[in-house]
Chain A
Amino acid sequence: MAARAQPVARVWPGIGAAAVVAALILGTLAAVALRAEAGRGLSPSDWAALRFTVMQAALSAVFSVVLAVPVARALARRAFAGRQAFITLLGAPFILPVIVAVLGLLAVFGRRGVLNAGLEALGMPAVQIYGLFGVVLAHVFLNLPLAVRLILQGWQTIPAERFRLAASLDFGPGDMWRVLERPMLLRMVPGAAAVIFAICLSSFAVVLTLGGGPRATTVELAIYHAFRFDFDLGRAALLSCLQIAVAGAAALIALRLSGQGGFGAGMGRPVRRWDARGAGFRAMDAAFIGAAALFLIVPLAMVLRDGIEGLGQMPADVWRAAGYSIGVALVSTVLMLSLALPMAVASARWQGLEAAGLMGIAASPLVMGTGLFIIVYPFADPGAWALAVTALVNAVMSLPFALRVLAPAARDCIADYGRLSASLGLRGRHWLRLVLLPRLRRPLGFAAGLAAALSMGDLGVIALFSDPERATLPLQMYRLMGSYRTEAASGAGLLLLALTLAVFWGFDKAGRYGADD
C-alpha cells in the first residue's frame, strides 16, 4: 500500500475548486450578516431547536447506516434478475421532492394508510406515525437508499482477486467479516453517516410535518422564521453558522474515524463470490433485500397510483417547466463535476478538502439564496439569473455526495497506480484520460446521476429569485398544490419522479457501460 500519493496530478485545481465552494458558502453567509440590522441574537427556543435538530439528525443517520449495511451486503454478494433495476430504483426516494415523498409515506404509514387499514382488518391497534418516530422513519426512507449505494460502492472497491484468494483459503463468513468487510465498512460507514447527518440537519418540511408540531422545530425552521417574519438577517446568519459548525464537526469526526488505506490494486475484473452459499445465508439476504424493497417501493407505488390520473390534467406549463428543469439539472451536473473531480484528486493529499465540500449540504438554502440575492441584486435583475443561480447552488449542494463517492475511489487509484504512472511518465491530462477516468467511471456516473437528479427535484433558492417566465417543475408542482389542483400536482409529482429517475439512470448506466456488473 502506498504510504502517500505520488505527484501524478496537480493539487492546486482541487484547492481552487474548494476555495470557490468555501467562498460561495461563507461569502453568501457574510453578505447576509453584513446586511443585517441589529437583531436580538439567539433565544432559548433556538437552542432547544438546535438540540432537537442534532438529535433527530443523529438518529436518522445511525438508523440509515445500520440498516443499510446488511442490505448492501446482500446486494454485493447476490446476483438476481432485476438487481440492476432495483439498485437504480434505490435512488428514487432520495431525489424526490420532499412533499411527494411525505405524501407517499403517509399513504402507507398514515392514519388512512395501507398499513393501518391492514392492522384494522386484523383487529389490531393503529400505528401513529407523527412524532420523532415519523421523522426518523421518513429520513431513513429518504436516506437509506443513499447509504446502501455508498456502502455498496465500498464493497465494489474490494478487488475480485481478494474474493478469489478468500475462496481458495476457504474463508468462512467470520473470516470474510474480519479480513475484508470490517475494514471496508470502517472506511465507508463514518463518511456515509456524516453525509446523512448533514442532510438531516437542514431538513425542515419533513421534520415539521411528521414531527407533529412545534416540539419538532429545527434550526432551519428558526432561520425561516427569523428571515420571513422578523426580517432578522443577523439571527438567520448566526443560525446558519451553527448549522454549518455542527455539520463540520460531524465531518471531522467521520474523517478521523474512517482512517486511510484501501485494498490495493486489482485487475478490475468482475467479482465472483464463493462465500455465504448456504441456504440460511441466502434466506437472510433475500429477507433483507425484500424488506428494503417493500419499505422503499410501496410508498413510490403510491406516488405512481396517485399521479397517473393527474397526468391528463396537467396544464401545458408543466411540460415547459419540465424542460427547464432538465436544462438546469444538466448544467448543474457539469458544474458539480468540474468542482468535484479536481477536489477528489486533491483529497488524496489533503483529506480535509472533503470537509469543505460537506459544508454545502449543511448551509441553509434560504441563507445561501438570500446571500446570493444580496450579491447579485446591485448588478443584475435577479429574475434573469434565477435558473443560473439554481444550477450553481444545486451543484454545490450535491458536491458532498459526489465527493463521498469520488474521493475514496480517486485516493485508491492514486495510491495503487500513482507510482507506476509516475515511473512511466504519465502525468496531467494523459494520466487523467488513461488512468484516472477509466477507473472512476462507475463512481463518476453515479455522482453525476445523483447531482442531476437532486437538482431536478430541488426547490431551493428559486423561490426567492423567481423568474416570471421560467418556473422549474418542482415550483410548478407547488403552484398547482397551492391552488387546490391536487390531482394535477400529483401528476406533476409523478412526472418529476419519472424524469429524475431517467436522468439518474442515464448517468449511472453510462458509468457502468461495458463494465460487467
Chain B
Amino acid sequence: MKAFAFAAGVVLATGAVAETPQLTVYTYDSFVPDWGPGPQVEAAFEETCGCDLNLVAVGDGASLLARLRLEGERSDADVVLGLDTNLIQSARETGLFAPHDVDAEFDLPVAWDDPVFVPFDWGYFAFVKDAGLEAPGNFRALGDSDLKIVIQDPRSSTPGLGLLMWVKAAYGDEAPEIWEGLADNIVTVTKGWSEAYGLFLDGEADMVLSYTTSPAYHLIAEEDDSKAAVPFDEGHYMQVEVAAKLAGSDQPELADAFLRFMVTDAFQSIIPTTNWMYPAVMPEGGLPEGFETLIAPERALLLPSEEVPALREEALDEWQRALSQ
C-alpha cells in the first residue's frame, strides 16, 4: 500500500513538472555562475512567465554557435543569448534562427534594426592600463612607443577577433602597416580574455585589450580606482551582444516573451554590475554609480555584420603575416 502511495506520488510529481513549460536558453559560460547575471535573470523571469527557465552554459560566444550548428534543427535550445556582432553573419547563414517581435528603443551608439538578433548589452573594446601610466592616444602612437601590450588570439578568442576588426575598421588597407608597428609592442598573444587579463594584472604587460567598462569592475566591486581605459582618437570598435530565437523552438511564445523581457528594466538593470557591459536599453535608474568615471569614446566603430566573414579572412592573413616576421 505504501509502495503504491509512493508510486502515485512520483507520478503526480512528475505530472506537475511536465505542466510547467520549460524554456531552454543557451548562453556563454560567464553568464551563469552565482556572480554572473544568470541567477538574477532566472529569478526575475520566472516570477512572471509561469515557466521554468533553464540556462545552459556553453564555452564562449564562438563555442555557442559551434554547438548550435552541431545540434542543428533538433536542438533543445529555444533561445540563444551571447553571440556577438562578429558572429552574427555566420549565425544568420545557418538558417537556424527566427525573426523576433521585440519593439524597443535601443540605447546603442549605432542604429539597430536587425529582424533576427536582439541586443542585450554592448561595450567598447579598449586597452586598459594602470591609471598613472602615460598612454598613447591611437594605434600609430602605440606602435611608436615602447609600451608592452598583451592581446588575445583572433583564432581562439572573440575579443581577439574584435581587435582585428577594430584595426581593419579604423585603417582599412593600411591595417598591415599598423600591425607591423605593433609587432614589437606585443609581449604575447593568449588563448582567451582571461589569460590576457591575468597576465596584465600580474604585471607582464603595460596594457591589455579589454573593454572601456573594465575599470568599473575594479572601482565598484573592489573599490580600486587604479585601472583606466585608454581613449583612442580613431574611435573604438564596439561589441554588441545579442540573443535570438531558434526557429526549431517548441516554446516559440515563451521564447518571444523572454526576448521582450530581455529589453525591460528587470533584465537590463542586472547587466552593468554582473556582466560589466552597458545595457542595450537604459534602465530607468540609469547606470550604477562609478560608470560615470569611464571614458566615453568620441567615435563608435562597427563593421556591418554581413561584411565580417570576408574581412575576417583577409584581416587574419594580414595579422599573421605582420606578426610572424
Contacts and interface: CB of A to CB of B under 8 A. Distances in A.
A106 B54 contact: no
A482 B148 contact: no
B124 to A, nearest CB: 17
Nearest to A477: B194
A225 B66 CA distance: 11
B63 A482 contact: no
Given A103-B202, A112-B203, A484-B221, A209 B190 contact: yes
A373 B70 contact: yes
A224 B156 contact: yes
Interface stretch (A78-86, A140-148, A213-221, A392-400): A213-221
B171 interface: no
Contacts of B33: 315, 317, 471, 476, 479-480, 483
A471 B33 CA distance: 10
A468 B324 contact: no
Contacts of A377: 70-71, 74
Nearest to B59: A463
Interface string B195-211: 10111011111000000
A505 interface: no
A464 B58 contact: yes
Interface residues of A, number: 56
Nearest to A316: B34
B324 A213 contact: yes
Given A111-B203, A225-B155, A466-B56, A204 B191 contact: yes
Contacts of B186: 212-213
Interface string A92-130: 000000010011001100111000000000000000001
Contact of B29 (A224, A381, A482, A484): A482
Nearest to A35: B70
A374 interface: yes
Contacts of B51: none
Contact of A481 (B36, B156, B198): B198
A210 B217 CA distance: 27
Interface stretch (A64-72, A226-234, A344-352): A226-234
A111 B204 contact: yes
A471 B202 CA distance: 27
A213 B194 contact: no
A377 B33 CA distance: 25
Contacts of A112: 202-204
Given A112-B204, A482-B30, A464 B59 contact: yes
B188 A212 contact: yes
A373 B75 CA distance: 13
Contacts of B108: none
Given A315-B35, A381-B76, A468 B57 contact: yes
A483 B203 contact: no
Contact of A213 (B90, B189, B197, B199): B189
Interface in B12-65: 29-30, 32-36, 54-59, 62-63, 65
Interface string A264-299: 000000000000000000000000000000000000
Given A205-B195, A482-B30, A221 B202 contact: no
B67 interface: yes
Given A99-B198, A484-B214, A212 B187 contact: yes
A486 interface: yes
B30 A479 contact: yes
B57 A466 contact: yes
A381 B324 CA distance: 43
B65, B195, B201, B214 — which one has the most chain A CB atoms within 10 A of its CB? B195
A67 B35 CA distance: 45
Main secondary structure of the interface of A (DSSP, over half): helix
B319 interface: yes
A372 to B, nearest CB: 11
B37 to A, nearest CB: 10
Interface in B58-108: 58-59, 62-63, 65-67, 69-71, 74, 76, 90
A438 B218 CA distance: 57
A111 B56 CA distance: 39
A133 to B, nearest CB: 13
B320 interface: yes
Contact of B34 (A215, A315, A482): A315
B29, B32, B36 — which one has the most chain A CB atoms within 10 A of its CB? B29
Contact of A211 (B62, B63, B188): B188
Contact of B30 (A103, A107, A221, A483): A483
Contacts of A229: 62, 90, 155, 161, 312
A315 B33 CA distance: 10
B198 A486 contact: yes
Contacts of A315: 33-35
Interface in B133-181: 148, 153, 155-156, 161
A215 B35 CA distance: 37
A381 B188 CA distance: 39
A383 interface: yes
B323 interface: yes
Contacts of A214: 153, 189, 319-320, 323-324
A209 B197 CA distance: 12
B70 to A, nearest CB: 6
Given A130-B187, A486-B201, A209 B195 contact: yes
A471 B189 CA distance: 27
Contacts of B237: none
A508 B36 CA distance: 39
B310 to A, nearest CB: 13
B188 A479 contact: no
B63, B183, B202, B312 — which one has the most chain A CB atoms within 10 A of its CB? B202
7 contacts: A209-B188, A228-B63, A479-B29, A480-B33, A481-B198, A482-B194, A484-B276
Interface of A: 35, 45, 99, 102-103, 106-107, 110-112, 130, 204-205, 208-215, 221-222, 224-225, 227-229, 231, 315-317, 370, 373-374, 377-378, 381, 383, 463-464, 466, 468, 471, 475-476, 478-486, 489
Given A103-B199, A214-B319, A483-B36, 8 more contacts: A205-B190, A209-B190, A222-B155, A228-B63, A228-B66, A317-B33, A374-B70, A485-B35
